[in-house]
Structure 1
Amino acid sequence: MAGTRRFIKIFLASPGDLTEERKVAKVIVDDFNSQLADALGYQVELVGWENTLPGVGRPQAIINRDLDGCDLFIGMLWKRWGTPPGTEPYTSGFEEEFNRSMTRNAKEGRPEINLLLKDLDAALLADPGDHLKKVIAFKEQVFAEKKLLAGTFTDVRDFEGKFRKCIQGYVIALANKDKASESEKDQAPLAETQTTSATEPGPTTPLSVEGAIFLRNFLTTAEKATDEHPLTADDVARVRLLSIIAAVHGNDQESLGSHDANLLFKARTKFEFGRRELNGLLDDGLAHFKHENVPLWHWVAAVDGFKNNILPICSVVGTTDRRVGALKAMRLIAEPIVDEEHFGRNEIVPLWLAKAAETAVRVAALEYLSECGQPSDLPYINEEFARNETQTTSAAANAIIRITLRDDRRAALEALYTLQPSTVKQGLLDDLFSRDAEFDGEILLRGLSHRNVLVRTTVIKLLQKRRALVASVAEPLLNDSDAEVRYAALLALVASGRSYSVEQAKAVLVRNNPAPTGLALFAMSRTDTEGEAVLERYTEQFFDRLTVAQLEEERSAIFDQNAYFALIRRNFRLRGDDLRKAVANQFVDRFESLLEEMTKRYGTLTDLIEKTRSLGKHLRSRFTREGLDIICSRLDAADLSLVRAMLASGSVDYSAADLQYLAKFGQWCDIPLVIASLDRPEYGRKYTLLLSIASSTKHDDAARTLYALGKHRLNDLLATTMPGQLLARIIPLIPDKAFQALADAVIVQLMRSEIEDVRKLASLKYVRAFPRRRVKAFLDEYMAADQFYYNVIYWLDFGISVPRDRMLRAAGKALLDA
């Protein structure tokens, strides 16, 4: 009951650069109070500077009154130290709040103090300002003294999990303490002290023999350490590893940091690790698997993990991060489950998909099973699908279809239709329909009613290719939610003899979605850009079907050049030079000519003439782009000078047609034009929401063009200044033999790039292209340098440690998926 709850006051201290985290903290406290307060009997009240009512006096003094009544102090820091509170000797309000709480804790034993410190980017650490220097000094002192419960977080999502654990852990511990106190009042003291029987086994050491020997030697070394002969960083890292292995409840850090983990990897030949240490390093690599910054594969090999069920075992015990990491690692290298006595596939798969298993574990398991599953796994996956949980349903359906596809393509299609997953990946459909001749028209037609738009568009294109989309089937599809489906249906009806004008087609293809009230700023984002795109294609086909006489009647239109362009396409040999001239002139002369004709026709309507003239720049830009697309699509080498001139002028929007043309006829000197093309807006996308631009293929198109122009000068190409994401897309295009021929300096530069994807893809290329002995030597040299990146170490270790056949397959797939 609410009336019997005990109130706990939690003070949240931080400077002003953690606003989002403070909002999340409030939501978490509200969730706790609504879900757990009655059950536990404790209500949490969150207070901080934004919760303090204004009053008379110094603002910080008013805040301090709330601070002095709190039970739990949670301090947060990122990159700001805060503003001075107006009293000496404190340099910020946070500092005063923290020290005041520490003083009170020393006297009264409360509040309990926890610190959550947000990770700092390397760029910030490279040039810290005054605020950040104070934050760094504070963090170093806290971690050096080890007196407080202090942890780090990477982002808001990470903060959410750790703050929630902090709140719940504090309340549960307090509840247990209160219960124990009440229990002690009702219990008599024990008559005699309990002792362990001599016949019972004594306690076992939590450390390996090797670890214990190391610690004794370390203590001896530490006693003699001086500024001139300090302890080594890898020795300290090993001590941290041993402290984690020996962790006890109440003092159990979950894993090493990435820095210590990489130090120990670097010192892997220096130390003789015990089995428990090797397992600890393996666990740490699995827990950090998604970050690709902690070595893993060497430790898997060190415990003989590629010959037994080590990864499957790790996937069913331990923390959620470790289990998910193990499953993702298994999926990456297609790790099989080895059936051993009393423990094999029939025991492991049910544990993965148990109802009580964490959602993240079940999703990771389903992703693994989609690639490595067997028919015997299907009952468990079907059970997971039947639970109808949002986060696992599509993954379960994908696994069922994938497993079925390996044995029976038609049965897999039936499963796709029966399960009706809302999310379907294009890769699955590509594999499923790679041999579409196996499917008759009847089974394909059933796909037109599938709930997933990718399924419908895939099926309708196949039917269209077979000319099997009859009018009676196409008619209802004019109301489909997807523009591509409506377009295919419209073309089928036209092929059947129906006629649709451009305006009639527009009514079918383009959906008007007015912006919601109050969102005028984003009104353009409601435009049906997909509908507009297919309308452009329909319009081109419509005019191409008209006779020359009909086109001549329309060619003087000033607001579009559809008829003019159709005449050009009809007889490019005769009219092509006229188009070239118009494009080179950016349609200035042609527009003026059309405006003169308009003036003759509507001479008295001067307002109309002037409004049309004011649109001249916009219209000419559009006409020039459309005209240049036609020229590029002709793939005539004689137009290279014109294409170069138009791109260099910056007067035309981006179009993939430019890059396709340059890929065929361009030269090394055109590389700056290709790189600069990324800065030009895409034709037809100027007013779309930024999110829609994320689907653009600009970088992929540019990468393919650059590779075509520079594949005979790869060292120069890879050293060319360009956006990092563009460089990352070039690397997978390079054949292994060509990568082997690169200069060492170029490869090293790729491995030291500031762009994570560049480093990763270059590393994957390296381990595929070179023998292991060369990779190992390169790794040792790389780690010995002053500057190196953890993800490079991760992938080079992958290349050295994973069995070569599985490594080549996994690296190739990762490059293909990039």
Structure 2
Amino acid sequence: MLRREKTGSPDISLFFKQVSEDLLRDPGDDLKKVLAFKKKIIADKKNLFQNFSTTGDIETLSRKSVTAYVNRVRAEDESSEPDELRAKRAQLSSGETIKEDNKYELSPLFAEGFGFLESLVERIGKPDSLDSLSATDVARFRLLANSISKSGNDEMNLGVHDLNILFTAHTEGMKLSRRETSYLARLGFQHLSNENVPLWCWYSAIAGSRLNPAVVSSFVGVNENEKAGAISVLTLLAHDLPADDDKINRDLIIANWFSDDSPARVRTAALGYLAKRGTAGDLEIARKEYARSDYSTSRSALECMVAILLRTGQTRAAQELVLETQFQMLNAKLLRSVLVGFEGLETRALLLGLEHSNHQVDLARI
């Protein structure tokens, strides 16, 4: 906390468990220390805290805290600016004047976006103004409207046709701000499954952000399309999740993906990620998902377990899992990998496949 008072970091989320009246009447030495610390926090009025009663409460509070942090990091990355612009902002706040030709640089939309809007307003003010506007002008105007958001507004949305128009214009030399590029990447995540919008151009342009943009969108995306698309990108790129970040790490991210309120589409994408990048320690996560008996995720959960077992050298366990689990469909390549070399399996395990609902398993047993 002393470091935070001096530097403003790291972020601190403080939670105190509510204590029963019986314990308060006769607190032990350890509880007395906690109560004294809480009393000091209240007296100092420098740090906020929240109370919780159950394990579920603290999980919810922690998730909200991390979500707020990630959203702030995203906003800072989208609004990041060169050192010289920061200096100009400081100059302006101190009362000094900024040259007229530099005013665009200080806009939240940066010079590119603000300059475009000013030009657009000037053109619209003329007679027959609509005739002077191009499809690219309209698409970019809509993009800028999307990139300025406040709590209470609708979530971002931009048509597929407009997204492709902007990509074409960019390849022909149109300069976009970092904020615009970031939103185009997020919209690319949303439409990834349809394969009808560009993504990689925008993604590569912002890949140097403090947190990987796909990691951020997988955690705090505005809808299940953005989250699932971002997870799919992490899978395609074989991107490892951050392991030692002081605020958002692999365990928190995966817990978010598989939380009770996470949509089935997000959980399915997450199972696909773990099938490619999961460790033996992730098996329990896939097992829990399989135990949900959710038709929309069961197959992906089983494939995830089998893939992890094979990748971690547990071939016999993968074969036994396939034999004891009744399924009709499974990834063909994965199934072929499991069905090689049943020799050595115990008779008990082989008997489980006698009347398997998948004919490939039955043929392999024979």
The answer, yes or no, to whether TM exceeds 0.5 is yes
Show the counterpart of 1:242.
Answer: 144
Of 292, 295, 305, the match for 2:195: 292
Change (3 A) 1:386 1:364: same
CA distance in 1, matches of 2:127, 2:272: 51
Change (3 A) 1:313 1:271: same
Show the counterpart of 1:212.
Answer: 114
CA distance in 2, matches of 1:438, 1:298: 49
Task: Note if 1:400 corresponds to 2:305.
Answer: yes
Show the counterpart of 1:276.
Answer: 179
Task: Note if 1:344 corresponds to 2:249.
Answer: yes
Of 289, 303, 306, the match for 2:206: 303
One-letter code of the match for 1:272?
K
Secondary structure at the counterpart of residue 239 of structure 2? coil
CA contact (8 A) 1:352 1:361 kept: yes
CA distance in 2, matches of 1:274, 1:345: 30
Task: Note if 1:376 corresponds to 2:261.
Answer: no
Of 243, 249, 262, the match for 2:164: 262
Task: Note if 1:428 corresponds to 2:334.
Answer: yes
Task: Note if 1:389 corresponds to 2:294.
Answer: yes
Change (3 A) 1:237 1:448: same
Of 310, 333, 337, the match for 2:237: 333
One-letter code of the match for 2:257?
W
CA contact (8 A) 1:394 1:424 kept: yes
CA contact (8 A) 2:323 2:353 kept: no
- Give the C-alpha shift of residue 209 in structure 1: 4.8
Of 132, 143, 146, the match for 1:230: 132
Task: Note if 1:445 corresponds to 2:350.
Answer: yes
CA distance in 2, matches of 1:297, 1:454: 41
CA contact (8 A) 1:206 1:245 kept: no
Q: How does 1:777-788 map to 2 (within 5 A)?
A: none
CA contact (8 A) 2:327 2:358 kept: no
CA contact (8 A) 2:339 2:361 kept: no
- Give the C-alpha shift of residue 258 in structure 1: 1.2
Change (3 A) 1:310 1:458: farther
CA distance in 2, matches of 1:330, 1:230: 42
Post-superposition Cα deviations, 1:91-133, rounded to whole Å, max 9, x if no partner, equal xxxxxxxxxxxxxxxxxxxxxxxxxxxxxxxxxxxxxxxxxxx
- Give the C-alpha shift of residue 229 in structure 1: 6.6
Post-superposition Cα deviations, 1:149-177, rounded to whole Å, max 9, x if no partner, equal xxxxxxxxxxxxxxxxxxxxxxxxxxxxx
CA contact (8 A) 1:412 1:432 kept: yes
One-letter code of the match for 1:391?
S
Show the counterpart of 1:412.
Answer: 318
Change (3 A) 1:454 1:305: farther
One-letter code of the match for 1:322?
E
CA distance in 1, matches of 2:130, 2:315: 70
> Superposition RMSD on alpha carbons, in Å?
2.9
Task: Note if 1:358 corresponds to 2:263.
Answer: yes
- Give the C-alpha shift of residue 421 in structure 1: 4.4
CA distance in 1, matches of 2:148, 2:288: 40
Change (3 A) 1:352 1:251: closer
Secondary structure at the counterpart of residue 315 of structure 1? helix
CA distance in 2, matches of 1:253, 1:232: 26
One-letter code of the match for 2:335?
L
- Give the C-alpha shift of residue 382 in structure 1: 2.0
CA contact (8 A) 2:113 2:144 kept: yes
- Give the C-alpha shift of residue 250 in structure 1: 6.7
Q: How does 1:592-671 map to 2 (within 5 A)?
A: none
Change (3 A) 1:325 1:206: same
Change (3 A) 1:450 1:336: farther
CA distance in 2, matches of 1:399, 1:294: 28
Post-superposition Cα deviations, 1:557-583, rounded to whole Å, max 9, x if no partner, equal xxxxxxxxxxxxxxxxxxxxxxxxxxx
CA contact (8 A) 1:237 1:263 kept: yes
Q: Give the TM-score normalised by the residue count of structure 1.
A: 0.29
Q: Please say which of residues 403-412 and 377-386 is displaced more in the overlay.
A: 377-386
CA contact (8 A) 1:444 1:459 kept: no
CA contact (8 A) 1:393 1:421 kept: no
Gaps of 5+ in 1: 1-203, 464-818
- Give the C-alpha shift of residue 400 in structure 1: 0.9
Task: Flag the structure with larger Rg.
Answer: 1
Fraction of identical pairs, as percent: 32
- Give the C-alpha shift of residue 387 in structure 1: 2.2
Q: Which structure 1 residue ranges, 4+ long, deviate > 6 Å from structure 2?
A: none
Q: Give the TM-score normalised by the residue count of structure 2.
A: 0.62
CA contact (8 A) 2:355 2:362 kept: no
- Give the C-alpha shift of residue 272 in structure 1: 2.8
- Give the C-alpha shift of residue 437 in structure 1: 6.0
CA contact (8 A) 1:385 1:393 kept: yes
- Give the C-alpha shift of residue 419 in structure 1: 4.6
CA contact (8 A) 1:448 1:459 kept: no
Show the counterpart of 1:124.
Answer: none
One-letter code of the match for 1:401?
V
Aligned residues: 257
CA distance in 1, matches of 2:231, 2:107: 31
CA distance in 1, matches of 2:220, 2:165: 27
Post-superposition Cα deviations, 1:578-601, rounded to whole Å, max 9, x if no partner, equal xxxxxxxxxxxxxxxxxxxxxxxx
One-letter code of the match for 2:308?
I
One-letter code of the match for 1:428?
L
- Give the C-alpha shift of residue 311 in structure 1: 1.2
